[in-house]
Amino acid sequence: MSEVFVKINNKQLGPLNRREIKNLVVNGEFSQDDLVYHEDMQEWVAANQIDELRTIFSDDQKQQRRKTVYAIGGGKGGVGKTVLCASLGIGLATYDHQVVVVDADLGGANLHTCMGILEPEYTFYHFYTLQRERLEDICLETPVDNLKLISGACGTLGFANPRYSQKVRFIHQLRQLDADYVLLDLGAGSSYNVIDFFLAADEGILVTTPDPMAIQETFNFLKIAIMRRFVREFRKKPAVLSVIDQYMYSEPGKMQFTMDDIIKDVKEIDDEASSYIEHYLANYHPHLILNMVHSSKEIREGDSFRMAAHDILNVDVDYMGFVEFDESVRKSVKELKPFVLSNPRSKASKNLAKLIAIGMLKKSGWTSIKEKRQVLQNFRAESADYPDTNMQESDTICSVNCFYWGDCEYQEGGYPCPIRNLDPIFKRHG
């Protein structure tokens, strides 16, 4: 089918190809009664009169292309969000799902290096500066079939705090991507930018290690996300907002209230608002993944987190599972290769396969065991074709001259650069 012009609410768009029109249909923005310009007839006709477009409007097609946007966050840095995001994306893509992984860490993009892409051709910089109009225009191919990447604005100041209009544009266009799954790798911390992206997703995944500080930060992240949701909901109800603010800005680091306290105080001034809060909390089900787990005792930290969220925040958290600590994961990061492909038989790869089968593909019983095996087989098959970076020992010396000095977890002054992918950048600008 050639490209055609369409008319939606009397606004002309195009020319669009079939895939672009299909994406509009899936997102509920184009119906069979909307108009398409028929070149042969030289007039506007209803879309259902075009033979090539009729199948797009079937219920089966709509269900098949329904996308799910996952946001992967949790507040604490260094817990493995980026590595898990890449690996979950690979697992879903090997099932012939169209997947886009998005580096939404606007202040420290590194998802591209995790995928072995040293210098992305396009990043968020091109989207924010309007050099590319759509997020789809900055999607990069990856070595994995069915998996695309949107890279953050690497090493560029000013994009860690986008204007509200930029943020709205970003969130809107996420839902225009031609994909079954969109996975957002969020930055560390609990800034409003990070929280807003987490709330905008269909599903939120909290990632933490069993370390007490990481658990606490992740719990605070969830609390702030919930409170931020209420602030946005009640911005036109100053009396209710005043109650929310009173609790939201309590002494940092201390959970001196429960959601029942908030509901009680709000109910005294606005029954409708308190009912909304109760309904929202009852239907909000974020997910949790424990990463870098060393023992069975640490595995139980996930259940403790669930209980705390239920008792204090009135939220049922879905504990998806855990990924064991595995030295091969760190080795794969240095080799710029996702660990599920670098070592698909590792403990961590097996854990991740279970997370995908049960937590994301929603399999259970014998089917979940069979699907876990299938995921591992997919990893092994994909690993055979994945390019080897063959990174050699760096000859760039790690020093104060590096523009990442003081902000690099691999910093080791006087020794060859541990982040060997920086070599091409140094040599080009040296």
Question: 28-56, pLDDT tens digit by residue?
Answer: 678 877 888 887 777 888 887 777 777 67
115 band by pLDDT with thresholds 50, 70 and 90: confident
Q: What percent of the chain has pLDDT over 90?
A: 41
Percent of all residues in the chain with a pLDDT value above 70, rounded to a whole number: 84
What's the average model confidence in pLDDT over 402-424?
66
Residue type at 306 in one-letter notation: R
Write the CB contacts of 327 (distance below 8 Å, at least 6 apart in sequence). none
| pLDDT at residue 159 greater than cutoff 60 | no
Q: Give the per-residue pLDDT at 286.
A: 96
Enter the pTM of the model.
Answer: 0.75
Confidence category of residue 361, pLDDT binned at 50, 70, 90: confident
Instruction: Using pLDDT thresholds of 50, 70 and 90, give the confidence band for residue 147.
Output: very high
Residue 91 has pLDDT above 60, yes or no: yes
What is the structure's pLDDT at 285?
95
Per-residue pLDDT averaged across 49-71, rounded?
67
Q: What residues form DSSP beta bridges with 319? A: 288
Cis before 15? omega within 30: yes
Measuring CA to CA, which residue among 231, 187, 234 is closest to residue 74? 187
Q: Average pLDDT, stretch 232-245? A: 92
Tokens at 46, concatenated: 């209803």
Average pLDDT score over residue span 185-212: 90
- Partners of 291 in beta bridges: 323
CA atoms of 393 and 399, how far apart (whole Å): 16
pLDDT over 90 (residue 417) = no
Q: Averaged over 145-167, what is the pLDDT?
A: 71
Which of 48-52, 82-86, 154-158, 395-399 is predicted most confidently? 82-86
Reported confidence tier of residue 239, pLDDT bands at 50, 70, 90: very high
Mean pLDDT for 184-213 is 90
Cβ–Cβ under 8 Å, residues 123 and 152 = yes
Mean pLDDT (the chain, rounded): 83
130 pLDDT band (50/70/90 cuts)? confident
Homologous superfamily, domain 68-385:
P-loop containing nucleotide triphosphate hydrolases (3.40.50.300)
pLDDT at residue 157, as a whole number: 44
**pLDDT band at 430; cut points 50, 70, 90:** very low
